[in-house]
Amino acid sequence: MKNFNTPVAIVVAAIVISITILYSSTRDPITNCIKLVMDNSNISARSAASRCAGAR
């Protein structure tokens, strides 16, 4: 019989990494700020990014 521990560990690690990437991309505060600023005012993405980043 073959040892299936290593392939299973690789698959589980890939699933955990993909869930972490999805979670962090949806909870990114800069992206949420840019979306909020662009929805509430009529400015470009560059201006919204500089406002959210704290640039003057």
What mean pLDDT is reported for the chain? Answer: 86
Terminal-to-terminal C-alpha distance of the chain: 65
The pLDDT score that the predictor gives to residue 56 is 60
Instruction: Read off the pTM.
Output: 0.55
Enclosing domain of residue 11: 5-53
Over the stretch 22-35, which tens digit does the pLDDT of each residue have?
998 888 888 888 88
Give dist(CA 25, CA 22) in Å, integer. 5
- Report the number of distinct structural domains present in the chain: 1
